[in-house]
Amino acid sequence: MEIDLRRRFFAEELEAVAKLRTPELVGAFARVAREQFLPPGPWTVLSEGGEGFMMGAGVRTRVTPDADPARVHHNIAVAIDPERQLFNGQPSTLGSWIDALDLTPGGRVLHVGSGLGYYTAVIAECVGPTGRLVSYEVDEALAAGAQRNLASRPWVDMRHGDASGPLDGPFDAILVNAGVTHPLDNWLDALAHRGRMMLPLTAAMGPTLGKGLVLLVTRADAGTFDVRVITVAAVYSALGIRDPEMNDRIGKAMMAGPARWMNVRRMRRDAHELSDSCWLHGPSVCFSTASAS
C-alpha cells in the first residue's frame, strides 16, 4: 500500500476507534508523516498498547522489522528516545483529547509538552496557516528536535521551556500533554472566553509517571470554569511545575472513588472555605462537585 493511502487508512481507523468528530483532525492525521517526528527506523514500540508500562509494571517493547513508514502508522506508542523510555503517545488517546478541544481553522492554541512535535504538527494542521500555535517542550534535546521537525509550518512557535512564564494569549484551546498537580495561573489567564483546556491532573507513581484524571476545563467567565471528567489516565509527569502538597491531595482525592470524582463539575479560583462540595481544594484553584450558581 502506498504511504499516502496508508496514512489515510490510519486516520480513518482512528476516526472509528477514538470516535473522532472533527473532519479537520481526521484530515490532519492523514497528512502528517509520523515517521518525520521520530528517530530513524526501525522503531521501538510499546507492546500490548503499553498499559503495563504506564501502570508501572515495567516496559515491554518490540522493534519493527524494518524502517518502512507504514510500521508507525498504527494505533501504537513509538519511542522518541528509547534509552530514556520516552514514547510518542498512542494516537487514539491523544486524538480523543485533541478532538475534545473542537479545533477549527484560524484557532489559537497553546500546547504544553510537544516532545518531538508529532501531535503539535497534527494540531497545526487543524488550525491551518491562518491559525496560531505556541508549543513548549521542557526537555532541551526534544525541543531542538521539534523545532527542526516543525520548521515547515511557520505558524507554529516552538519554544524550549515549561510554559510557566508570560504567555502572549489569548488562546482558544490549551492542550497539556503531561501530568500536572494544578493548572498554572498563566494558563488560566490566557484562556479565552469559552476556551477549552485539556488537563491531566495526576498524582505521581514514581519519578516519571503519574495517574489521575484527564479533565476538560472550559472558561465560563473571569473566575469560573466548567469541568468535565474525560477519563482516567497514566501519563508522564510534567517537570518543574508540580506542587508536592497538591500531589498528596490528588492521591487522597482519587481514593474517594469514581462516585465522587465523576461528579466534578466546576473549577473555582476565588478564595473560599473548604466545604463538602470541594473534591480537590488547593491554594490557587478548587475542583468542586457543585455547578456554578
> What's the CA gap between 219 and 196, in Å, rounded?
7
pLDDT recorded at residue 48: 61
Instruction: Give tens-digit pLDDT for 2-50.
Output: 999 999 999 999 999 999 999 999 999 999 999 999 999 999 999 765 4
Residues spanned by the domain of 26:
3-288
Mean pLDDT value of segment 102-107: 96
**Of residues 154, 149, 117, the one with CA closest to residue 135:** 117
Nearest to 185 by CA among 166, 213, 201: 166
Output the pLDDT for position 180. Answer: 97
**How far is Cα 166 from Cα 135, in angstroms, rounded to an integer?**
13
153 phi and psi angles, rounded to 5 deg: -120, 85
Domain count, the chain: 1
With respect to residue 127, please indicate whether it lies within any of the assigned structural domains.
Answer: yes
Distance CA 91, CA 14 (A): 7
In a domain, 112, yes or no: yes
Q: What is the CATH number of the domain that holds 256?
A: 3.40.50.150
pLDDT reported for residue 118: 98
293 in a structural domain: no
148-203 pLDDT tens trace? 999 999 999 999 999 999 998 899 999 999 999 999 999 999 999 999 999 999 99
Taking phi over 0 as left and psi of -120 to 50 as alpha, with beta for the rest, 85 belongs to left
pLDDT of residue 53: 47
Cα distances from 247 to residues 157, 202, 206, 250, 258, in angstroms, run 31, 7, 12, 5, 18
Q: What are 220-262's pLDDT values in tens digits?
A: 976 789 999 999 999 999 999 999 999 999 999 999 999 999 9
Dump pLDDT digits (tens) for 50-81.
444 444 445 689 999 999 999 999 999 999 99
Full-model pTM: 0.94
pLDDT at 163: 96
- Is 175 domain-assigned? yes
260 within a domain of the structure (yes/no) = yes
In a domain? residue 77: yes
What's the confidence (pLDDT) of residue 1? 65
What span, in angstroms and rounded, lies between the C-alpha atoms of 12 and 28? 11
pLDDT computed for residue 251 by the predictor: 95
